[in-house]
Amino acid sequence: MANYEKVEVTTDLLILGGGMAACGAAVEAAYWAKKNGVKVTLVDKAAMDRSGAVAMGLSAINQYVGLHEGKNSVKDYVDYVRMDLMGIIREDLVANIARHVDSSVHLFEKWGLPIWKDAEGKYVHEGRWQLMINGESYKVIVAEAAKNALEEAGGEYYERVFITEPLLDGDRIAGAIGFSTRENKAYVFRAKAVICTMGGAVHIFKPRSTGEGLGRAWYPPWNSGSSAYFTLRAGAEMTSQEVRFIPVRFKDAYGPVGAWFLLFKSQATNSEGGSYMVERRDELENWKPYGLVKPIPANLRNWLGMLDVMEGKGPIFMRTEEAIQKIANEAGDEKAAKKKLKELEAEAWEDFLDMTISQAVLWAASNVEPEKKSSEIAAAEPYFIGSHSGASGAWVSGPADLQTDETKSEYFWGYSHMSTVKGLFCAGDASGASSHKFSSGSHAEGRICGKSAVKYIVENTSLPEIDAGQVDEMLGAQFKPLDIYEEFKGASTDPEVNPHYIKPKMFMFRLQKIMDEYVGGVSAQFSTNKAHLEKAMELLTFLKEDSDKLAAADLHELLRCWENVQRLWQAEAHTRTILFREETRWPGYYRRTDFPTMDDENWHVFANCRWIPEKNEWEMIKRPMLHVYPKAQEHELIGG
């Protein structure tokens, strides 16, 4: 048996994760905790300073509504998100985040984040909703504020602790178990409420990067579906599990394209010099009304480029040299143009150095000068996120004040952003159907959860019961991969290949092959059908059986084992839901070749799922897509 020290921690509020949503939850919960005598504990798999999707830095804040400027309203943002997600969003959740997000951005600036200003002292916008920042230390700044808030409130945080399973007391969350990735310690956290903010999932599908680039991805490679696994295992209802996100990025190093499209006004063209956004405009008629709005939904922009690639007109190029030269020429005479050209070149490199250093390295290694040469862009492999342009996550309650008579019975059950499991709150990538919150909105949603969870604790004062025997059994299962390796490592000359177990890397390769080939990955041109999906379910069943034979030589591999179990559950939730939704609604994210069109009559709904712990069965559920607007009044939204 694995030898470990058991550490038991009792708290009131347990925050799981260390990214932007977790930091927002910590700051807000700490404020209300001090007023109500509540203890707050945060647990992070990594170290908060460089944890989560913003870990490496960011060159823009992608959600800023600017309500005080009077140019945009909350309704404007809800309309934008609804159109981009082809009509399927929780308007109450999106509105709730949108009305609070500006205050998070103002906090970032107060804490020391440099936000670009123009000559008049106004924020420099990359696009309507985006602000340019010098963001290499964005996460460090936000994490410092969270740690300070916890300390001032008498709370605590644990770093390098990986959470595996939820603890339950009937239909109520009771805490979580996990292990240290640095020491032989098992952790048992007992709490009255839990906020799940452990990120989305990457490396479920085979990535484009292989060989020496293996592991490189657009989304952080350490995000393994921890949030989805935790909420699924707790029995929470999940939503939008079919909505994977496929970003188009600079090829091979995943450099951002937003600044090029929005700030530099660059064009993307096929290998023949044609603009697919112009030449394939007629295709947008097939996706009305969403194909006819501005901006065109992200998945449809993807789709038009994919059609060019499938027709043999690839690769697709970002015409950086044309965009830079055009802006420079508009500066005036030759001297002014040269000066402007130098500024633009610096900004182009800084865009990568602030958030995707690997792209700057690739440019340098490839002798690319963006002012002279185009760079290839491509659709990445699929990712599962609730914060960016994806929507997968837990089905959570909306705020009371944004409900109509029609939505209240479907979208509200007592505490804002609480899942269908009592006391389990979700934010960031953990909450679904509230897309386009990005980093700032995730922080704002974390703050919403922080306040809501403290309110729940004040009104539900009892500490949940946990079964000590069951906990010990769970801890044994947690460390089982270490025991399997020790027992059978001598059965083969190479410990990586063994008839008695499977190592986490090989397990991940099997999962990625299944998902890539049968569930619409890169090699399948993001297309799938019922026969492929049913074959995927068959193979995932075999893989789930083999997960019981995962082996780990050390704590790092134990971490990798559990990451892959989490990926497997996210993969199954996705496959089941994409099979359930018999239509193609997001063609640039995936295409059902057997149902190639949108079916608003039958599928203008949420496709939800739930794993029922006591039965070990899955339930598929349709939930109605209901509108907060135009029934809700604008002043009600902004006043919250």
Check if 388 is active-site: yes
CA 78 – CA 96 distance, rounded (Å): 10
Which of 100, 249, 560, 581 is an active site residue? 249
Which of 59, 62, 180, 564 is an active site residue? 62
CB 406 within 8 A of CB 625: no
The owner of tokens 């704002």 is 444
Dihedral, CA of residue 116, residue 122, residue 123 and residue 124, to nearest 10 = -70
DSSP assignment of 251-266 equals TTT----HIIIIIS--
3-state secondary structure at position 12:
coil
Which of 32, 129, 218, 586 is an active site residue? 218
Neighbours of 69 (CB within 10 A): 11
DSSP H helices in 547-625: 555-580, 600-603
Which of 12, 28, 126, 429 is an active site residue? 126
Neighbours of 500 (CB within 10 A): 13
Check if 610 is active-site: no
What is the three-state SS of 381-439?
CCEECCCCCCCCEECCCCCHHHCCHHHHHHHCCCCCCECCCECEEECHHHECCCCCCHH
Q: What is the DSSP letter of 275?
A: -
Neighbours of 283 (CB within 10 A): 15
Check if 134 is active-site: no
- Helix (H) or strand (E) segment spanning residue 200: none
Check if 603 is active-site: no
CA-CA-CA-CA torsion sign (590, 596, 602, 604): positive
Quick one: which of 311, 248, 307, 267 has its CA closest to 587? 307
CB 145 within 8 A of CB 106: no
Quick one: which of 488, 506, 486 has its CA closest to 564? 506
CA 176 – CA 423 distance, rounded (Å): 13
CB 395 within 8 A of CB 419: yes
Using CA atoms, how far residue 303 sits from 34, 296, 316, in Å, is 50, 11, 13
- Helix (H) or strand (E) segment spanning residue 177: strand 172-180
Check if 439 is active-site: yes
Check if 249 is active-site: yes
CB 45 within 8 A of CB 158: no
CB 584 within 8 A of CB 602: no
Beta bridge partners of 149: none
Check if 62 is active-site: yes
Which of 44, 91, 102, 351 is an active site residue? 351
Q: What is the DSSP letter of 201?
A: B
In sequence order, the 6+-apart residues with CB closer than 8 A to the CB of 35 are none
Quick one: which of 289, 241, 257 has its CA closest to 390? 241
CB 341 within 8 A of CB 324: yes
DSSP H helices in 153-250: 226-233
Which of 439, 442, 452, 608 is an active site residue? 439
CA 319 – CA 268 distance, rounded (Å): 6
- Enumerate the active-site residues: 62, 126, 218, 249, 351, 388, 439
